[in-house]
Structure 1
Amino acid sequence: MASLSPAAAAALARLRAYHPPATQWYKLPLVRRAAVLILLFADKKGELRVVLTIRSAGLKNYAGQAALPGGKADTLSETPWTTARREAFEEIGLSMTNEDLPSGYVVEHLTELPSNLAMTELGVRPCVGYLKAPAPRSPLLATGDADRAPDVARDLLPKLDAKEVAAVFTSPFHNFLRSEDEDVRDREGERKVPGQWYNGSWHSWHESPWRMHQFYVPVKPSTVFRAKTIAAGDAAKEDDPRPSKPKHQPKADKATPSSQNVHSSSSSLQPPLPSSTYQVSGNVLDQRRYRVFGMTARILVDCARVAYGEEPDFEHNSHFGDEDMIGKLMKAGRLGPERKHREVLTRDVMVRAAKLS
């Protein structure tokens, strides 16, 4: 692995120095707490990439969608970072402690971002980590590997035991601030990957304009790693929605629930998006670009804004997270310890909450 580029080193420094505002996360009841892991690492050129997943096609919820590793808290004593690390271990096999990682690898907790409000009425706390590889010829490397330059994508990701996901893939981190592929080889010449990098549109959420980002990440054998095939019965068990298995509720970092859950006449999402927005046609793993959209995309944009100290070249929401709205909804009597069937944030609820100080 090459040394960190100046831009990447500066990005990590900004993330370490970032102190998020006070969060509502710890005031939420357990059933409303969730966290995701933004795991960064340096590629061979020293630039930052981020780890994402494709959910298994056999799961009952959000099948085939791209996501950050994450999910709901198990106990009130769990911090967002602990929740994110545990879920990453369960989903992609990333060890929860540095001692259990391959020799020389370390995960550093850089910072956390303001909590986001999912349409399923969960508070989602993004946690940012940096996966540092050992230096070339490091004595920490296993015997016989000392002459090989460490490479996260080669040495670690292929070994991840993905039980709830169909694949793990990586994307250039800074590109989430750009409307085109930054790598000219992906958009021009013989190595061009068909399709565009970015597409976005405005919609109403929280009774205010909300930017729906959609990124189409080009993938290649060196940046995507497929999981072993999981039997259909086992996949259903992994996503069992019954109360006896709360950690297997629908994953919280998915910003866009299925249309039948939110697109009623009383939904706060106006105008309604077509159901095709949330569906994955064909085998997503065979596509040349993987779509990253909704809350996952918004979180990545916001994290890149903090890391690189610059704004994207496309339209976006200027605020970070939804801490203010989460607090107002709690005052309005929502986000309680009991989750009602087909509960949605209606226009009336959002208007009433917005008026609270």
Structure 2
Amino acid sequence: MESKYLTNLINYKPLFFQNQNKFSIWHKVPVSRRSAVMVLLFLGNEGELRVILTKRSRKLKSFSGHISLPGGKSENGLESEFQCARREMDEEIGLSRHNQILKKDFGFIMDELKVLPSYLARTFLAVAPCIGYINWCEDVKQTERRIGNLVLNPGESASIFSVPLRDFLQPKTDNFQLSECLKQSHIKTKWAGLPWNLRSFIFPHYNKNEVDWIEEVEDISSASEDETHEDQELDVRTRNCWGLTANILHDVAEIIYNGNNSLIGEEDLIYSLHKHGQIQTKGRTDFEKRLINNTKGSMFTEVIPQDEFKLLKKLYNN
């Protein structure tokens, strides 16, 4: 049973901005720039840790059709990271934010395990990953687990599915083989002068290892969607988990399986940007717009002093 690895997560002590462990930069930026995602784990049929992912609705303006974690923007300054992530999960895929309702409707509760340091989204949001764990009631047998009456919000999510968390370890260790991931890649690149990770994990659309209680949830994505490059290359319909979602899940896997306690997220970068006039209001600054639009030649040194930038570069090069 891979649940034993959760001890590493429970013992993990996150480091937030300026090398302190008291509070996250998430609470310093404006509410309009706060976002949280739910990394919802559970045990699969073989006792492996799996994570629930969604395919975003084609109706969404941003990142439509992408594979993502349930989540979204905070609504008010009183909302914690977990409250935000649970509310968004409720709105997107119908898993209630309230444990008493989850227990009544589905026979499980969600344990809140850990909030990780915030990541900087390319849209200049501070994204806080919240790790939860599905804890089934003892009287619910594995064959009786059902969430088939779950109704996805068609304006938010087209489908939900699960994959093994272990497949997000990268690079692969000598004694580890991918169980469901068909292909993974990692490119160390730069964004506006700072080191940046581009990761991709490709999974099959149809998965014989999926748990029954997720497979029963209606997939409302279009079966006629265009074939992707990965579909053609691997000769099978695929799901590509990449970008911020991939980076978060890679880091979660490193913590849980390898006990990694190194720096994750971009708290110090968010802190520096906020200190120097960015990530301040709901509207984006001209500098933020240039980076969002990948304007050639844009650099963080336009708003962050050189000495501070050098420290950030050294920090994220490790």
Given the two structures, how large is their TM-score scaled by the length of structure 1?
0.69
Deviations 1:212-268 (A, max 9, x none): 0000022426635444479xxxxxxxxxxxxxxxxxxxxxxxxxxxxxxxxxxxxxx
Q: Residues 276-291 of structure 1 correspond to what in structure 2 (within 5 A)?
A: 281-282=226-227, 288-291=237-240
1:352 aligns with 2:301: no
- Residue 129 of structure 1 aligns with which residue? 132
Q: Secondary structure in 2 aligned to 1:63?
A: coil
> For the Cα contact (< 8 Å) 1:207–1:350, is it kept in 2?
no
Deviations 1:113-154 (A, max 9, x none): 11001111110000000011223xx1xx4xxxx6x6344xxx
- Residue 88 of structure 2 aligns with which residue? 87
> For the Cα contact (< 8 Å) 1:51–1:170, is it kept in 2?
yes
> For the Cα contact (< 8 Å) 1:328–1:353, is it kept in 2?
no
- Residue number among 114, 118, 122 corresponding to 1:119 in the alignment: 122
- Residue 248 of structure 1 aligns with which residue? none
CA distance in 2, matches of 1:112, 1:340: 26
Tell me the amino acid that sits aligned with residue 213 of structure 1.
Answer: R
- Residue 169 of structure 2 aligns with which residue? 177
> For the Cα contact (< 8 Å) 2:184–2:201, is it kept in 1?
yes
Q: 1:202: how far off? A: 2.2
Q: 1:14: how far off? A: 1.6
Q: 1:106: how far off? A: 1.1
> For the Cα contact (< 8 Å) 1:38–1:50, is it kept in 2?
yes
> For the Cα contact (< 8 Å) 1:329–1:335, is it kept in 2?
yes
1:218 aligns with 2:204: yes
Q: Secondary structure in 2 aligned to 1:49?
A: strand
> For the Cα contact (< 8 Å) 2:278–2:285, is it kept in 1?
no
Q: Residues 9-158 of structure 1 correspond to what in structure 2 (within 5 A)?
A: 9-21=3-15, 22-101=23-102, 102-135=105-138, 138=139, 141=140, 149-151=143-145, 155-156=146-147, 158=148
1:197 aligns with 2:215: no
> For the Cα contact (< 8 Å) 1:161–1:227, is it kept in 2?
no
1:207 aligns with 2:193: yes
Equivalent residues, number: 273
- Residue number among 150, 156, 159 corresponding to 1:167 in the alignment: 159
Structure-2 change in CA distance of 1:71 and 1:103 (3 Å): closer
- Residue 258 of structure 2 aligns with which residue? 309
Q: Which has the higher helix share?
A: 2
Q: Secondary structure in 2 aligned to 1:149?
A: helix
- Residue 337 of structure 1 aligns with which residue? 281
Q: What is the percent sequence identity of the aligned residues?
A: 33
Q: Residues 217-256 of structure 1 correspond to what in structure 2 (within 5 A)?
A: 217-220=203-206, 223=210, 225-228=217-220
CA distance in 2, matches of 1:350, 1:293: 28
CA distance in 1, matches of 2:272, 2:50: 35
Deviations 1:27-51 (A, max 9, x none): 0001110000000000111110000
Tell me the amino acid that sits aligned with residue 131 of structure 2.
Answer: V
1:324 aligns with 2:310: no
> For the Cα contact (< 8 Å) 2:193–2:300, is it kept in 1?
no
CA distance in 1, matches of 2:115, 2:192: 23
Q: 1:73: how far off? A: 0.1
Structure-2 change in CA distance of 1:292 and 1:47 (3 Å): same
> For the Cα contact (< 8 Å) 1:207–1:351, is it kept in 2?
no
Q: Secondary structure in 2 aligned to 1:94?
A: coil
Tell me the amino acid that sits aligned with residue 170 of structure 1.
Answer: S
CA distance in 2, matches of 1:58, 1:353: 40
> For the Cα contact (< 8 Å) 1:91–1:162, is it kept in 2?
yes
1:300 aligns with 2:303: no
Given the two structures, how large is their TM-score scaled by the length of structure 2?
0.77
CA distance in 1, matches of 2:184, 2:73: 29
Q: Secondary structure in 1 aligned to 2:187?
A: strand
CA distance in 2, matches of 1:106, 1:351: 45
CA distance in 1, matches of 2:269, 2:47: 38
Deviations 1:74-104 (A, max 9, x none): 0010001000000000000011111101353
Q: Give the gaps of 5 or more residues in structure 1.
A: 188-195, 231-279, 312-317
Q: Secondary structure in 2 aligned to 1:96?
A: coil
> For the Cα contact (< 8 Å) 2:273–2:303, is it kept in 1?
no
Q: 1:9: how far off? A: 2.3
Q: 1:206: how far off? A: 5.3
Structure-2 change in CA distance of 1:168 and 1:354 (3 Å): farther
CA distance in 2, matches of 1:281, 1:120: 26
Q: Secondary structure in 1 aligned to 2:143?
A: coil
